Structure formats: C-alpha cells, structure tokens
Structure 1
Amino acid sequence: MSTRYLLLICLALAIGSCSVKPKPIEYGSDACHFCSMTLVDRQHAAQIVTDKGRVYNFDAVECMMNHLKEVDNSTVALFLVNGYTQPGELIDATKATYLISEGIPSPMGEFLTAFDSRADAEKAQQQHGGELYSWNELRNRFKP
C-alpha cells in the first residue's frame, strides 16, 4: 500500500471524526466548563459546540454567556440551551426567548431561563414576572 493512499485514508478519518453536533449531557456527572459545578438541572443547562466539534457543557445559561466573553465566538458552530418546558432537551439558543425572573431560580442565581417559544416565555412571565430577552438582547446584557 502506498504512503499516499495511507495518507488519504488518515485524512478522511480525521475529517469524519470531527462532527459538529450536540452531545447528550450526562446529568449528575458532567461538570460545567465555566464554574466546574456538576450539571443536574435539566431546565437550565447549556452547551456550545465549536466548528471543530468540541463540546462544552454549562450548568446554566449564565455560565455559557460568561464563557462566551472569553472565547472567539466565530469558532462556535452551535449555541444550545435546555428549554424550560421540555427539561433535558437542547434547543437552538439563538432562536430561544429568555426570561429573567426571580420567580424561576437558576443554578447560578441569575434567574435566567430559556424557552423554546415566545408564547411559553410570555406565559411564564405572566405567572412569575420578570423581563423577556431575545438572543441578541441577552448577548448585549452579558457583554464585558
């Protein structure tokens, strides 16, 4: 077998092993990349996946937002958060609606919760009070 052929096989395997997709969170054992707390809350966890397929888990949306201050955001392929009404399910963070309300505690005390739909967020706001944010508004709130 030629060296060139082996090199092509190795290159193909390397490219195929760097898939950009979410990784299931192992609640109770995975640790937050930002604060090192164990992820246990299925309604507030978050995850980013880089364009090279590396996955970072966070115990709360606020930990992810604070981590994003320290990295080149152009290297992030996926921003994901747990939807409050569907615990444990990761949703697209850029399309979520966020509620900051003292009526819904989050693991790090920012009272920040993500919702898959604006209607669900508005319903929670009516029940618990607080302010609604889009992804861009939330990013501005967490700017350094």
Structure 2
Amino acid sequence: MKKIVLLFSSLFIISCVSNEPKPIKLNVDTCEFCKMTISNGKFGAELLTKKGRYYKFDDLSCMLLYAKENTNVQVQSFFVNDYAKDNTLIPAEQCFYLRGGSINSPMRGNFAAFASDKDQDNFQKQLNAKTLTWEQVFTMY
C-alpha cells in the first residue's frame, strides 16, 4: 500500500511541473545575471530549469550569458518577451528576431523577439534592424 501511495505522490509531483512561463513582475523582479530591476516589458526573458526553477532576466543577452556561464544549470525552456505585446513571454525557440538598428534594450543586447514573422517584417522596417533565427541569436554569446 505504501508503494502505491508513493507512486501516485511521485506522479502527482511530476505532473505539477509546468513548461509555461511565469509572468515577470515589472519594477519588482530583478535580473538573475546583472541584478538590475526588470522594468521594460519588451525585452525581459526567463529561463526554466529541468528542476522547475525560474530565473528572470531584463535582457535576452543576460539570459544567454547566464546560461552559458552556468553550465551546471540544466535548462528546460527559454522564454522571451514579445516585442509587439508588452510583457508577454513566448518560447524563445519559436520566435523571430531582430537585432541592431534603433533597438535599444536594457543591457545593450539590442534584440527584439516576435511571435510572428509578420510582426518581425513590420518592425524590421521601423527599426532598421537585421533578421536572425534563434540558432543565430543563441550562438552569438
């Protein structure tokens, strides 16, 4: 009987681990890497570990530098804010990216992420920025 209870308890705990982002509390949460308060909803980022711990960042560059420097942290998911929708986290691997031009992020990573290629195209003209894929962004750091 104890084994059955243990099995169900373990399954319950495992099923409670989510792969969803936790909202960033602007002007409250601090960046895990640079320790600055996260205040801009266009550039925040979040890392979810395989153990279910969330790390929040004020810039995509902070998240990438943290992940590369802390190789003992096993990453399950990366999330970035959608530049077109203030403070809305989306999976980083599925995003369309811009860099440079008139993009001015908190720690000068100067990346903007978008949920759709249409938004990326519209903002590319406005921001005069270069298009990138997640693979290109990830390997830059």
Which residue matches 2:38? 39
CA contact (8 A) 1:20 1:52 kept: no
Question: Shift of residue 18 of structure 1?
Answer: 4.0
Once residues 12 and 116 of structure 1 are traced to their aligned partners in structure 2, the CA distance between those partners, rounded to angstroms, is 33
CA radius of gyration, larger in = 1
Which is worse superposed, 95-104 or 17-26?
Answer: 17-26
Report whether the alignment pairs 1:68 with 2:67.
Answer: yes
Worse-matched range after superposition: 95-104 or 26-35: 95-104
TM-score scaled by length of structure 1: 0.84
Correspondence for 1:140: 139
Contact 1:45 1:58 in 2 (8 A): yes
CA RMSD of aligned residues (A): 2.3
The equivalences for 1:47-66 within 5 A come to: 47-66=46-65
Mapped partners of 1:94, 1:74: distance in 2: 18
Deviations 1:81-131 (A, max 9, x none): 000101111111001111112312111122211111122112211122121
Q: Structure 1 residues 33 and 3, CA, compared in 2 at 3 Å: closer, same or farther?
A: same
1:83 is aligned to 82
Q: CA deviation at 1:25?
A: 1.2
Q: Which runs of 5+ in 1 are unaligned?
A: none
Q: In terms of mean alpha carbon deviation, does 104-113 or 13-22 score higher?
A: 13-22
Q: Which residue of 2 aligns with 1:92?
A: 91
* Aligned amino acid, residue 128 of structure 1: L
CA contact (8 A) 1:98 1:133 kept: yes
Residue in 2 that maps onto 1:118: 117
User: Percent identical across equivalent pairs?
Assistant: 34
Structure 2 CA distance for aligned equivalents of residues 5 and 127 of structure 1: 60
Distance 1:94-1:4 versus aligned 2 partners, 3 A rule: closer
Q: Distance in 2 between matches of 1:50 and 1:131?
A: 30
How far apart are the structure 1 equivalents of 2:46 and 2:121? Answer: 24
Residue number in structure 1 paired with 2:129: 130
Could you state the TM-score of these two structures normalised by the residue count of structure 2? 0.85
